[in-house]
């Protein structure tokens, strides 16, 4: 994983995302790109031009200060900053594509509170078109070492590719990957889950993999309970599970969704994974 893009609006939530980015970059020797995008309505008046200049200057100062603080703490990392006058979602996608970003790490809520970074219009657009995985860091998350990763499995044909992209992160942290499937028919899915896990272990030569077959009609509630009971550090899912993603982060669901405000989620774009299923080209099979 060579490059991590970290969009920021200088909010506390964005700082939480940066904290994860800094630690991951340290493990992977990655370069961090700090991105701030801002936009004001286009007007030609002198007064408005002056306002634009003031906003830009303040943003540049904030970004410079953020970079300096991060660089002071992590002197061995390479950190660059980019500032753009553009819609945040457009700027994120543009920079990610231009520099070949391997991972986007961003907060789930912006500073204003009026529009969430995730599952508001900004992040829906980013997730839909991002050229790499998106690492969503909730508002109340605190960085901790990654010991357990839960992958919510749906037995789609391309999910073994997604898990292949998760393996390098697990290896770096020596983390356990728990392949989790929620069903209302335990007997039917148990053998299927075990067979799938055996394929993953054999294909990627990584043995720290476990399985968990959960019973329940409410997928989200079942996963929440499992995550809380097993001290999961990261949840991983494929992008196509959009309805699930939205329900996990939607505040109106219920109290049982509390893990969504503390546990990061990695969203993989499964359609972008050109995996060599024979394992002959590991570099192409992974974003990390």
Total number of domains constituting the chain:
2
For residue 199, what are the contacts with CB-CB under 8 A and spacing of at least 6? Answer: 160
pLDDT at 275 over 50: no
One domain for residues 277 and 153: yes
One domain for residues 131 and 161: no
Give the Cα separation of 288 and 181 in Å (integer): 24
107, 137, 167 — which closes off a domain?
A: 137
What's the confidence (pLDDT) of residue 243?
A: 59
One domain for residues 94 and 173: no
One domain for residues 7 and 133: yes
What's the confidence (pLDDT) of residue 158?
A: 78
One domain for residues 113 and 160: no
In a domain, 143, yes or no: no
How does pLDDT run across 223-269, given as a tens digit for each residue? 888 988 999 999 998 876 555 565 555 544 433 444 556 889 898 87
One domain for residues 24 and 91: yes
What's the confidence (pLDDT) of residue 222?
A: 83
137, 169, 198 — which closes off a domain?
A: 137
Torsion angles phi and psi, residue 213, rounded to 5: -100, 115
Question: How many residues would you count in the chain?
Answer: 288
Share of the chain above pLDDT 70, in %: 76
One domain for residues 233 and 156: yes
For residue 202, what are the contacts with CB-CB under 8 A and spacing of at least 6? Answer: none
How does pLDDT run across 188-231, given as a tens digit for each residue? 788 889 999 999 999 999 999 999 998 877 777 788 889 889 99
In a domain, 21, yes or no: yes
pLDDT at 179 over 70: yes
What's the confidence (pLDDT) of residue 267?
A: 86
In a domain, 142, yes or no: no
137, 168, 190 — which closes off a domain?
A: 137
How does pLDDT run across 72-93, given as a tens digit for each residue? 999 999 999 999 988 888 899 9
In a domain, 202, yes or no: yes
One domain for residues 36 and 115: yes
In a domain, 119, yes or no: yes
Give the Cα separation of 136 and 125 in Å (integer): 14
pLDDT at 19 over 80: yes
In a domain, 58, yes or no: yes
201: domain CATH number is 3.40.50.620
Q: Residue 229 sits in which domain range?
A: 148-285
Q: How confident is the model at residue 277 (pLDDT cuts 50, 70, 90)?
A: very low
Tell me the pLDDT of the chain averaged across its residues: 81
In a domain, 77, yes or no: yes
In a domain, 160, yes or no: yes
For residue 267, what are the contacts with CB-CB under 8 A and spacing of at least 6? Answer: 127, 133, 134, 135, 136, 237, 238, 239, 245
One domain for residues 89 and 183: no
pTM of this prediction? 0.84
One domain for residues 51 and 109: yes
One domain for residues 167 and 223: yes
**Strands of 148-282, DSSP E:** 148-152, 176-183, 209-215, 234-238, 265-268
One domain for residues 54 and 153: no
The DSSP output letter for 86 is S
Structure-model confidence comparison of residues 178 and 268, the more confident one? 178
């Amino acid at each position: 994983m060579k490059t991590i893009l970290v969009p920021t609006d200088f909010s506390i939530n964005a700082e939480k995302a940066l904290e994860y980015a800094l630690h991951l970059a340290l493990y992977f020797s990655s370069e961090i790109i700090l991105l701030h995008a801002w936009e004001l309505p286009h007007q030609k008046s002198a007064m408005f031009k002056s306002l634009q200049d003031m906003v830009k200057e303040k943003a540049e100062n904030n970004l410079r200060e953020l970079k300096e603080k991060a660089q002071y703490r992590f002197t061995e990392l390479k950190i660059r900053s980019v500032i753009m006058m553009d819609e945040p979602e457009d700027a994120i996608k543009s920079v990610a594509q231009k520099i070949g970003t391997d991972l986007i790490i961003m907060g789930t809520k912006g500073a204003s509170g009026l529009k969430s970074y995730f599952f508001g219009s900004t992040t829906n657009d980013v997730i839909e078109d991002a050229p790499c995985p998106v690492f969503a860091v909730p508002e109340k998350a605190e960085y901790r070492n990654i010991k357990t990763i839960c992958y919510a499995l749906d037995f789609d044909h391309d999910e073994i590719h997604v898990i292949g992209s998760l393996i390098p992160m697990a290896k770096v942290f020596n983390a356990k990957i728990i392949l989790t499937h929620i069903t209302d028919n335990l007997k039917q899915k148990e053998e299927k889950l075990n067979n799938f896990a055996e394929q993953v272990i054999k294909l990627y030569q990584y043995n720290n993999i476990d399985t968990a077959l959960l019973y329940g009609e409410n997928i989200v509630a079942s996963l929440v309970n499992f995550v809380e009971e097993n001290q999961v550090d990261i949840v991983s899912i494929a992008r196509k599970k959009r309805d699930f993603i939205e329900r996990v982060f939607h505040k109106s669901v219920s109290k049982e969704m509390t893990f969504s405000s503390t546990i990061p989620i990695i969203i993989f774009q499964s359609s972008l994974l050109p995996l060599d299923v024979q394992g002959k080209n590991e570099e192409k099979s992974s974003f990390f």
